[in-house]
Structure 1
Amino acid sequence: MARFFLILAFALASVGSLALAGLVERTFRVGKMNISRLCEKRVIAAVNGQMPGPTLEVLEGDTVEVHVINESPYNITIHWHGVFQRLSAWADGPDMITQCPIRPGNSYTYKFNIIGQEGTLWWHAHVSFLRATIYGALVIRPRRGAKAYPFPKPDREVPILLGEWWNANVVNVEKEALLSGNGANKSDAYTINGKPGDLYNCSSKEIYKLKVESGKTYMLRIINAALNNQLFFKVAGHGFTVVAADAAYTKPYKTDVIVIAPGQSIDALMIADAPPALYYMAAQLYQSISPPFPPFDNTTTRGVLEYKYSHVQSPHPQMPEMPAFNNTATAHRFYTNLTGLLMPGKPTVPLEIDTHMFITFGLGIDPCQTNQVTCNRTRGATVASMNNVSFRNPTKMSLLEARYKNVKGIYAEDFPNKPPLFFDFTNASVNTDPTLAPLLFAPKETKVKRLKYNSRVEMVLQNTAIISNENHPLHLHGYNFYVLAQGFGNYNKSMAEQSYNLVDPHERNTIAVPTGGWAAIRFVANNPGVWIMHCHFDIHLPLGLATVFEVENGPTPDSILLPPPMDFPQC
């Protein structure tokens, strides 16, 4: 009898919890959109005729169903960037990792729950360069009946999506980059909420405007949706208080500049406390590559912050003083000053580790292929790798389907825990030292790292100077991780561990590993499935800067991956 009442009480509690949750159902039609930018008329792929696409607003605990109908001429997938996808890996979205793409004329319903997350995430295409125009914000607010934000409620919340624009078909931009064996052509503009701003040709009216009232507080939900560039973001005459990063609350951090890498999001409170006037908000490049610099887009996008009645007092907006494009000190200061907000009931950083991994990553070379028409025949084509393995997507079926059906021959489970050789990783002499020449070449393979359910993982992410030193933003699907420490040069275990923050490290799903440096992160592998970790510079993903974690099922029914949905796309 006692057991009966215990089960009944658990069932009633579950019903009560479900009653507080809701169903958010949307339809995304991916199709052609006519748009004029920078003096040219273009046809782009977009969702529901919008660029950026619609903002998806949900509450923590909600179930989300998005019906994606592909009316474009391209294969498409949608990735819900930063969503944990607990037991719903089929909805994660990366092409040929968790699904085959949605073919033109077909559809697929992404269904997943939002559990244990609040803040700003986003969604975007995960095929080719299509996320240049197929992207939008994903806003997660506290569930019904829960406490509000752990900071004073802002008067208004405003998505700020920073993008990147080409006066070309972005699919062709990527194809040309891969055929040439070189990097992608630089973009023609940056954008704020899809608008380039008045510094670009034919764009004086294509400028984002935010109207504010004196004394009110605005939460800017800032997302870097640019393909290949980190950005500085400022608002003239105003400061910020950062309160969250990648949908994980941080201790309040005051700053006048936001540094944000592709894939990252920042929630920043801004008080409209300046004299009523017009002020520019601006975003421009943070270029972390060591000189000599390749061609890059060193332009500035800007919008206008307009106070009520400000047109009477100041017709000319004030421009913020932006950091130099290569100001690594400012970027590093911002990234390393973020700490996590400790909250009751939330998981904390694991102190004991089951799996240690040391991962080197960066660029490399590969012998020219016959279809690479302008490849450098002496040097070879550019590739990218992790632990000297350049990741190659499977072609017959997705990794997740192969794992679920136990199909052999699609991938190997021997991704190495460490590089083939330890050397002076950040010294540019690696490119000329004949004894290290083999490290310049990275074979193309499909390898994954198998992890036991609930194993505690520490990863040291070490940049290398092979080809170039660069700050790479690495994104892990399906998880947040704790950022323990980061620094420059070669990782030194004894010295680095003294700097580990094991008390209040902040969480992220995307980390910008310092130029010529390293970062140490930890996570608990408690979500079964296959999860890609890759550079969020889009040109580096097809070049192979990625690996995949295959996480085993757990011992209980609620820790076992469910079967694929009925409409799961087939290759």
Structure 2
Amino acid sequence: MRLLACLLAVGVGVTQAARVVYDWNITYVNANPDNLFERRVVGVNNAWPLPPIHVNIGDTLVINAHNSLDVPTSLHSHGMFQNNTPYMDGPVGVTQCAIPPNYNLTYEFNITQHGSYWIHSHYMGQYMDGLRGPLILHNVNETYKYDEEMIVTVSDWYHKQSNDNLNTFMSVYNPTGAEPVPQSGIINDSANTTFTFIPGKTYRLRLINMSGFSTFYISIDGHTLDIIEVDGVETQRTSVDSLYLTAAQRISVLVTAKNNTDLNYYMHADMATDMFDVMPDDLNPNITAPIYYNTNHQNFAPSQDIGMASPFDDFLLVPLVNASIPGPDQSLNLTFNFEVTTDGINRGMFNELPYLQPKVPTLNTMLGMGNLSNNVDVYGPQSMAFMMKHLDFIEVAVSNFDAGNHPFHLHGHTFYMVGRGNGTWLGANAGTTEWFSNPMSRDTILIPSETYVVLRFRADNPGPWFFHCHIDWHLESGLAATFIVAPDVAQQRMTLPQAFLDVCTAGGNPATGNAAGKEGLDLSGAPSGVTLIYDGFTAKGKGAMAACILCALIGMGSIVFYALSDPEKKARAIADAKRQGATPPS
């Protein structure tokens, strides 16, 4: 990997825009991060974990990716808006075809944001095999002052390959949809992580949850965490003793070190075990990393860890810049749940229909189908596509019908967390919603069991943007939708680079056309037909029931006929009828 021309004009206090280039050969590596089991992981340049990417606002980030795996891959820079470059976003089937084995693809885009982000594979749960790492975007002049910064990642860790776990999860033999439970939790991709604080210094800790499943509760004994950023959006400085991070969320906190070295302290990262269907006996959900003020002694402060009892509430955070929230131009009502579908698999779904990846990436269809791109049907019967006009203010109400908590991520935007409530969203005038007049915005939100949230965002970024659960098992099972923002404007502003057509062809996939790879609205062959099992009688079922009833009547009639044809039985039947006061059979 080489890092080119990252130049800082110190004298004038501004950053000169640089072209920051990384050469990534995506390879398999053996690793044992939890000290319990060595396994094959997905690394870069024959090394793992991935080194953090550091760029400055105004830079251009270039990642030359070569796929040396024996399976396809892709890269998603989580939280990047990708204005005018949606083809660099990375989700397979939405903005690109997967990179096939032994093939190259370059991701290149301008850095217009700052804050804490991460980069990960967006293909078939692959980032849980290790293809993920921090992506830090530095501001020219940070709003909050600190002496030093540290990256702190938390993640769950599995001993099996993700494709093996996925095959077990999405199986007719798993009708309840029980997710694979991780074997460990790790901090900074290791069970042996330690930190060192120097007395009196103020540290910015960039907390990033790179899990595929688990939420973590984070605290430091004897220290206050001052929140200054969530998902790249700055907040008014807010002091908490603990906080949670769902899969894919990020929070920056300022921590001021003690003025003496009498004690060392533990950082706690506790997994939310209520998300697991079973709790394995050998899983330690309470992960710690020592923070040393003095490595010459092992005197640690008493534990103050409360884990899942944390009162943290991200809805109560206040943005640094006050939010101005107009009324919505378009409202979208989404409900989600998990049910067994017609293929026998327990799937996640919005509005009772699971997402199925189209044959042609949705962006390719958007940019290549002319006026038909404004017809939601062209994107396929189960791409879960919702059309949105340019610059409209969109309201999305999401109701969780499931018994578990779920983190949802929107690509290409941040959204305002304007409301929430218990039960099901019944509309703005229902009177049960808790509204927030100066709401925080972020790109990933936790929706607790049997509650709803109301989100709003400006549809100012033309392109197709994925909205999905960031529990990767649930994404792969179908808990996703596609927000189609301003196809007409997208066609005016951008042309799909040839490389993103070629990568489809190289993988044996159609590069143009509708969701089926055909012209017009001929969608025959587009992925579809995986739906809820019909709750009632179909026409065939009614016919079968009628046939069963007819057969039963014929059978009963036959029994009566043969009984009455026997003289002795007939005499007994007559006598029985007389005793009961009925008319004897003739």
Matched, 1:383 2:375: no
Q: Which amino acid in structure 1 is aligned with residue 368 of structure 2?
A: K
The answer to whether the Cα contact below 8 Å between 2:388 and 2:459 also exists between their aligned partners in 1 is yes
Where do 1:190-269 residues align within 5 Å?
190-196=185-191, 207-269=192-254
Give 1:567 shift. Answer: 5.5
Write the deviation string for residues 161-216 of structure 1: whole angstroms up to 9, x where unpaired: 111111122221112211344333211001101013xxxxxxxxxx1111110000
| Closer/same/farther in 2, CA of residues 565 and 221 from structure 1, 3 Å limit | farther
* Residue number among 459, 478, 481 corresponding to 1:525 in the alignment: 459
Partners of 1:497 and 1:339 in 2: CA distance: 22
Which residue in 2 is equivalent to 1:123?
Answer: 119
CA shift at 1:320, angstroms?
3.5
Kept after mapping to 2: 8 A contact 1:451/1:552: yes
Q: Among 124, 131, 134, which residue is 2:131 paired with? A: 134
- Cα offset for 1:274? 6.4
Q: 1:410 to 1:554 in 2, by over 3 A?
A: closer
State whether residues 53 and 135 of structure 1, in contact with CA within 8 Å, keep that contact through their aligned partners in structure 2. Answer: yes
Tell me the distance in 2 between the aligned counterparts of 1:142 and 1:92.
22
Do the aligned residues in 1 keep the contact of 2:366 with 2:487 (CA within 8 Å)?
A: no
What residue number does 2:469 align with?
Answer: 535
Structure 1 unaligned regions, length at least 5: 1-17, 197-206, 370-379, 416-442
The 1:563–1:355 alpha-carbon spacing in structure 2 relative to 1, beyond 3 Å, is same
1:501 to 436, 444, 457: 436
Say if 1:495 and 1:288 are closer, same or farther in 2 by CA, change over 3 A. farther
Q: Aligned partners of 2:465 and 2:490: how far apart in 1?
A: 21
Counterpart of 1:376?
none
Alignment of 1:1-16 (within 5 A): none
> In 2, are the aligned partners of 1:553 and 1:560 still within 8 Å (CA)?
no
- Checking the alignment, whether the CA contact within 8 Å between 1:402 and 1:408 is kept in structure 2 is no
Q: Does residue 96 of structure 2 align to residue 162 of structure 1?
A: no
Paired residue for 2:320, among 313, 327, 341? 341
Match of 1:458 in 2: 395
Code of the residue aligned with 1:356 in structure 2: it is: S
Cα distance in 1 for residues equivalent to 2:218 and 2:352: 34
- Specify whether residues 19 and 227 from structure 1 end up closer, same or farther in structure 2 by C-alpha distance, changes over 3 A only: closer
- Residues 26 and 67 in structure 2, CA contact (< 8 A), matched pair in contact too: yes
Instruction: Specify the alignment match of 1:397 in structure 2.
Output: 360
CA distance 1:507–1:164, shift in 2 (3 Å)? same
Query: If you compute each CA radius of gyration, which structure gives the higher value, 1 or 2?
Result: 2
Query: Root-mean-square deviation (CA), in Å?
Result: 2.8
* Contact 1:79 1:92 survives alignment (8 Å): yes
Of 540, 543, 562, the match for 2:495 = 562
Letter in 1 for 2:180: N
TM-score, scaled relative to structure 2: 0.77
Alignment deviations for residues 445-468 of structure 1 (CA, whole Å, 9 cap, x no partner): 223011111111011111114xxx
Change (3 A) 1:232 1:141: same
Output the CA distance in 2 between the equivalents of 1:496 and 1:219.
41
Structure 2: distance between partners of 1:39 and 1:324 = 24
- How big is each residue's C-alpha offset from its partner over 1:302-323, in whole Å with a ceiling of 9 and x where there is no partner? 211111xx233x4143464333
Give the CA deviation at 1:485: 2.2
Report the more deviating stretch, 510-519 or 401-410.
401-410
Aligned residue pair count: 482
Structure 1 556/229 Cα, relative in aligned 2: closer, same or farther at 3 Å?
A: closer
Matched residue, 1:426 = none
Q: Alpha-carbon deviations, 1:281-333, whole Å to 9, x = none?
A: 121122455xx9444656222211111xx233x414346433354x4xx35x4
Structure 2 Cα separation of the partners of residues 565 and 154 of structure 1:
44
> 1:318–1:562: structure 2 CA closer, same or farther, 3 Å change rule?
farther
SS at match of 1:445: coil
Counterpart secondary structure, 2:429: helix
Distance 1:412 1:544, change over 3 A: farther
Give the 5 Å matches for 1:399-548.
399-406=362-369, 413=376, 445-465=382-402, 469-491=403-425, 493-494=428-429, 499-502=434-437, 504-548=438-482
Could you tell me how far 1:275 is from its partner in structure 2?
Answer: 4.4
SS in 1 for 2:219: strand
Percent of residue pairs identical = 24
SS of 2:295 mapped into structure 1? helix
**What amino acid is the match of 1:214?**
P
**Which letter does structure 1 place at the counterpart of 2:57?**
E
AA at the equivalent of 1:398: P
Alignment partner of 1:184 is 2:179: yes
Distance 1:335 1:108 in 2: 37
- Which TM-score applies when normalising by structure 1? 0.79
Paired position in structure 2 for 1:354: 329
